[in-house]
Structure 1
């Protein structure tokens, strides 16, 4: 009887396992068909090109992106000075000459269906295109995996709550599964957003520009008076110093008097001894 009951129990488990596998495969097949109908393909593009004017190109790109329903996520314009020189024009002014290159960086979100149209319009703004690339990343299977895991977590939470007791409510396990459920939902929402709006990165630059302008002379030596004025000032300053020395010595007349008296006494004593 023990052997017979074991065989019956094994057969029942085998039937349950087969039915469970069959239902799982049915879910996978149905969701796989859904994923094929709604493929989750993320498009990204990168371009580098030379333009005549970086600032004007940035304005035209922003206008074109808005017209196609996209948004500018990030942009930066930077000028790098390669050579700088200052030439003297007068005692208080210099002519500064700079050679620099201006570069632009722009990241935009474009509706996926208009990405090709937008990339085809860029060469019209460029002198020539250095490089252009596009990448298609199929996230359908990952999206399907998250979707199935979400369904499993909903079922697991319902089961835990159904069999939970006051002594063992399994709150920690339930919260962990719920948090993981939220993460999977957020990942799928992120994929949906990236599928709907493609990301394009644009790097553009212009030829080296030479610019000159007049600036103040920052060498303070050039602001000194002429030689004649400095010589006259030096003579006046010397006469002033000489008078100050005379005045200082006149304040020491007592010391001179004592020194003279001491010298006289010394000479008198020396003569008497001789």
Structure 2
């Protein structure tokens, strides 16, 4: 009976300890989750989202700059997310900038090259207006440190209405001019002036149309500019020492052997040259003997 009571007490103590440990871990997990949620909420924005039945038109843009762990990997993640949400990347400039380069001689023919560099990328994204916040929330997963976040919403409703009214007015004026030219234009001078005025009206109408199309495109597709960078990196590489010419000079023993060979070749060439002149030497010898015996006296 005592043994059973002891086991019950031990079991109760163990359960109490486990419960207290779980209770202690829960606040830490909640705090981490809350911190992550705060970062996401700080980056994303619901500013100027178009509501149903609202005729307002907003051009929404976002500018972000933040540090990441690895720029190439974050670039691929952002590009994949952009494609997933129906957007596209219009500009990306991934590059490395060398801040310092040190060369340390480690042997007669080898150098240890130490390079300090930073990697950064500038990305421009066009994404459907309704997916702007969603894409920004996905991008926040890559953030190690946030430099800044700027989100703008420009209301262009009035401008688009103004352009539409201008289009209608120019179109009506254009029709009246065309009708006047066809029915009332008699003199060449009057027709020329009317035609010139008509051309100006068409050009202004086209400009208003193009501007409205451009504004509507910016309303439909939001623009996100992202600048990402990573901590300065260090790369070490063993390379061949090509700067010290002394490392490539021939050994003195080989140079002496080559000198002996060259001397022998020169001597051989001289002997051969002399033997090639045997006829001249023979004539000269005979001439000398004749001179000594006969001509000299």
Give TM-score scaled by structure 1 length: 0.70
User: Residues 81 and 138 of structure 2 are in contact (CA less than 8 Å); yes or no, is this contact kept in structure 1?
Assistant: no
User: Residues 45 and 135 of structure 1 are in contact (CA less than 8 Å); yes or no, is this contact kept in structure 2?
Assistant: yes
CA RMSD of aligned residues (A): 3.5
Shift of 1:93: 3.4
**What's the counterpart of residue 154 of structure 1?**
171
Query: How far, CA to CA, are the matches of 2:266 and 2:155 in structure 1?
Result: 91
User: Residues 123 and 129 of structure 1 are in contact (CA less than 8 Å); yes or no, is this contact kept in structure 2?
Assistant: no
Among candidates 226, 245, 248, match of residue 223 of structure 1: 248
Unaligned runs of 5+ in 1: 1-35, 246-274
- Residue by residue over 1:178-200, the C-alpha shift from the partner in whole angstroms, topping out at 9 and shown as x without a partner, is 11111111110111110011000
**What's the counterpart of residue 131 of structure 1?**
148
Among candidates 25, 50, 54, match of residue 67 of structure 2: 50
Shift of 1:209: 0.9
Shift of 1:239: 8.9
Shift of 1:236: 6.9
SS in 2 for 1:130: strand
- Residue by residue over 1:109-159, the C-alpha shift from the partner in whole angstroms, topping out at 9 and shown as x without a partner, is 111122122223322211111111101111111111111110110011111
**What's the counterpart of residue 202 of structure 1?**
226
Map of 1:171-250 to 2, 5 A cutoff? 171-219=195-243, 221=245, 222-230=247-255
SS in 2 for 1:75: strand
Query: How far, CA to CA, are the matches of 2:72 and 2:234 in structure 1?
Result: 16
**What's the counterpart of residue 160 of structure 2?**
143
Shift of the 72–235 alpha-carbon distance from structure 1 to 2, 3 Å rule, reads same
Deviation >6 Å, runs of 4+: 234-245
Query: How far, CA to CA, are the matches of 1:207 and 1:233 in structure 2?
Result: 56
The number of residues matched between the two structures is 230
Unaligned runs of 5+ in 2: 1-52, 271-297
- Residue by residue over 1:61-84, the C-alpha shift from the partner in whole angstroms, topping out at 9 and shown as x without a partner, is 011111111111111101001111
Map of 1:1-274 to 2, 5 A cutoff? 37-164=54-181, 165-166=185-186, 167=188, 168=191, 170-219=194-243, 221=245, 222-230=247-255
Mean Cα deviation higher: 157-166 or 218-227: 218-227
User: Residues 91 and 223 of structure 1 are in contact (CA less than 8 Å); yes or no, is this contact kept in structure 2?
Assistant: no
